[in-house]
Amino acid sequence: MFNYWFVLFIAVITEILWALSLKWIHHQPGIWPIAASVLLTATNMTLLSFAMRGIPAGVAYAVWTGLGAVGVAIFSAIVFGDHLNNGQIASMALVILGVVGMKLSTG
């Protein structure tokens, strides 16, 4: 049996990388950052659509966007020095709890 959840996890990683690539373009304008962003966009959409073959679309999209948003916030703080306050961190924890709930209730 194919593991669509693993594909979705890889899609989340490419979503995070894609969003961070947009900020990278701002810091390092040029053809290579733009090309990386375009490649990540295509990869991201392909993986998400493939994951939706085995996971309900609403669940896959909620997991993808939720974990993507949390990942971007965390890695943007690490890589670019963006600030996260306690309210943002608590809210990200709630998003993660929601994603876990979606996974557990989907099977």
If one counts the domains in the chain, the total is: 1
Lowest-confidence segment of 28-32, 63-67, 83-87, 91-95 by average pLDDT: 28-32
Residue 21 has pLDDT above 60, yes or no: yes
Q: What is the pTM of this model?
A: 0.87
Range of the domain at 10: 4-106
DSSP H helix total and E strand total for the chain: 4, 0
The pLDDT tens digits for 25-78 are 888 888 998 999 999 999 999 999 999 999 999 999 999 999 999 999 999 999
Mean pLDDT of 18-28: 89
Contact partners, residue 16, CB within 8 Å, separation at least 6: 68, 71, 72, 75
* The predicted structure's pLDDT at residue 106: 82
